[in-house]
Structure 1
Amino acid sequence: MSYEVVLAEKYDLTDLVEELTLEESLEEIACRVSILLAVTPDFPAIAPGQSIRISGTPYGGSGKKDLLNPGLIWECSSTNNGSKRLTLTVYDKTIYLAKSEDERLLLAGQTASQRLRAYAKDWNIPIGSLPDTRILLARSVRRIQSIFSMVQEDLKETTDKGGDMYRPRMDEGGLTLYRIGSNSDVWELEALEEVVQVRTLEGAVTQVKVLGSSGSDKRLSPVLAIVQGEIEKYGTLQKVIQDCAIETVAQAKEAAKNLLMGMQETFTVTAPDINTIRAGDKVRLNGLELYVLSVKHRLGLPGHMELELAREAKVRRDWCV
């Protein structure tokens, strides 16, 4: 095991680690780690709420780098069948944004990065690099919902209005907004153990109708735009959207365009581990540029990883739904 696991910067648990997995997904904000430990007579007391650090050597690099610091122990589960084992579920600090709810009035003219900074400050999440997302967002009243769902709505509106796709994630500097697919090292996936390809029309959208606000229960909502895609090839599969943040016909057409998708294609890859690959990164598979929807690293020597991949068009469509 070439990884260090340190509890509360005091107890080195590395030699007791039997399994160590790290998971990320575009559908979640927090990185999740599962640690299986062998329990010894001098084992320290461990309980939810304690901090834990996980460090390792980056693939192709040297020296140790923090993969999760600080990690928050969320759950402990023990088994004893002659020898005792303890399984820890650990998250980074953005789990607080996923598990906390609020109600907010968000003013017009703010950007997604400005709003994320405010959320993080209120929940005491350390802030790293927050690039300017540039797109000015509409006024919004957010009823009771998770803070992460508010962040997702801000980022969706940013993309709907022509901005880039961003995902919030923790790195060594704190909470940042990562532009999807902007990783400088684009790995070519080789020495593959298994590749599963799925193609389907489930979820396909070939026509999008965008509605404005009717202002009355007695009449239909006005149609701001109807945008068509591959109708001749796949038939008419229509999705209707109505969003108060869409204020102009141009915005309606942009939002509709983002939802068009014909046949959907995903790849599930099992391969030797590249521990620097994260959800949202771009990779190459047999000459195709694909994006990581989710990743599970089984850390160790040797390590293995499981990736769910898709083309940019699907990522963008799913991001905007």
Structure 2
Amino acid sequence: MSYEVVLQNKYYLRELIESISLSDSLDQIAYQGSITLKVSADFPGIEPGQEIRISGVPFGVTNPVYLLHPGVVWDCSSSISQTKHMTLTVYDRTIYLAKSEDECLFAAGGTASQRLKKHAADWNIKLANVPDTKTKLKKSVYRAQTIYSMIMADLKETVKSGGEMYIPRMTPSGLGLFKIGGNETVWKLEGIEEATQSRTLEETVTKVKVLGTESNENALTPVLAIVSGQTAEYGVLQKIVQDEDVKTADAAKKLGESMLKGKGASYSVSCTDLNTIRAGDKVNFNGMGLIVTSVNHQLGEPGHMTLELSTFEDVKRRYFLEQ
């Protein structure tokens, strides 16, 4: 196998590997790996908390790159019959942001980028590329919750206010922000084994009414904006939106327009593996530029992967705008 697993920066486990899979989705923060090893009965134990990394050679190049690094062993189990088998669940170290809670107060006027840097300083997290998200955010008081939920709340507010979509991503250089669809290399999916397209009106929205947050028990909630889309084609399917981050009619109109959605379309694809593809990447499928919402790599020679794909607009609505 042309993949390498290194434990504690000194134990090279390539010869013991039976299988490796890597999974990522926009619903999870940390890249997850599952490794099965065939070991001798006297093999030294592997324990949760130990450092681990996974490397491999991407398509079209000759030198290996880190696929999951820095990583940590999270779960491990073993079984013995005629031989001893060990199964490891590993994550990149953003898992700590999803498992650690805190309280934070942020003044109005800062950006999601600035707040991420503050989290990194407080938690002694090494930073990589953190682009300027530019959008100034309102005052935020975060009571006891995970660091990841705070980061995502700031990134979602950024999008609701007209900014770009970003997700946190751990790299060998440190924690950074990755722009959705911002990958330099856009891979064309080939070696298709199976592809399924689903179309539905289930989540279609052709009219949006954006309400203010002020309430009066003797009157209806004030309406900040009403926007319409494909009502002639699909009928009136109205959504009510009320968001404390949206205060002005202009911001309400932008939010309403971003919530309009025609018929839904999603794609499931099984094909030859491209081992560097991550959730949030843009790929080319049948001439369409689509965003990976989840991916599972079965590493091997050749490898295999299964992807869920959506349009840029669907990703924006589903992961950043919906309540």
Q: TM-score range by the shorter chain?
A: over 0.9
Q: What is the aligned partner in structure 2 of residue 222 from structure 1?
A: 222
- TM-score normalised by structure 2 residue count: 0.95
Aligned partners of 1:214 and 1:220 also within 8 Å? no
Deviates more, 1:156-165 or 1:211-220: 211-220
Separation of aligned partners in 2, 1:82 and 1:202: 52
Q: What is the aligned partner in structure 2 of residue 83 from structure 1?
A: 83
Q: Which amino acid aligns with 2:301?
A: L
1:217 CA drift (Å): 4.6
Q: What is the aligned partner in structure 2 of residue 23 from structure 1?
A: 23
Separation of aligned partners in 2, 1:206 and 1:147: 35
Q: What is the aligned partner in structure 2 of residue 276 from structure 1?
A: 276
Aligned partners of 1:139 and 1:245 also within 8 Å? no
1:221 CA drift (Å): 2.4
Aligned partners of 2:105 and 2:141 also within 8 Å? yes
Q: Which amino acid aligns with 2:64?
A: K
| 1:84-103 superposed matches below 5 A | 84-103=84-103
Q: What is the aligned partner in structure 1 of residue 125 from structure 2?
A: 125
Q: What is the aligned partner in structure 2 of residue 137 from structure 1?
A: 137
Q: What is the aligned partner in structure 1 of residue 113 from structure 2?
A: 113
Q: Which amino acid aligns with 1:246?
A: V
SS for the counterpart of 2:27 is coil
Q: Would the alpha carbon gap of residues 37 and 217 (structure 1) be closer, same or farther in structure 2, given more than 3 Å must change? A: farther
- TM-score normalised by structure 1 residue count: 0.95
Q: What is the aligned partner in structure 2 of residue 197 from structure 1?
A: 197
SS for the counterpart of 1:188 is coil
SS for the counterpart of 2:54 is strand
Deviates more, 1:290-299 or 1:113-122: 113-122
Q: What is the aligned partner in structure 1 of residue 158 from structure 2?
A: 158
Deviations 1:71-100 (A, max 9, x none): 111111223333221111101111111112
Separation of aligned partners in 2, 1:163 and 1:96: 27
Q: What is the aligned partner in structure 2 of residue 314 from structure 1?
A: 314
Task: Let me know the Cα RMSD of the aligned residues.
Answer: 1.5
SS for the counterpart of 1:128 is coil
Aligned partners of 1:5 and 1:14 also within 8 Å? yes
SS for the counterpart of 2:15 is helix
Q: Would the alpha carbon gap of residues 123 and 239 (structure 1) be closer, same or farther in structure 2, given more than 3 Å must change? A: farther
Identity %, equivalent residues: 53
Aligned partners of 2:36 and 2:86 also within 8 Å? yes
1:216 CA drift (Å): 4.5
1:226 CA drift (Å): 1.4
Deviates more, 1:79-88 or 1:173-182: 79-88
Q: Which amino acid aligns with 1:69?
A: H
SS for the counterpart of 1:190 is coil
| 1:46-57 superposed matches below 5 A | 46-57=46-57
1:253 CA drift (Å): 1.3
Separation of aligned partners in 2, 1:78 and 1:228: 57
Query: Could you list the runs of 5+ residues in structure 1 that have no partner in the other structure?
Result: none
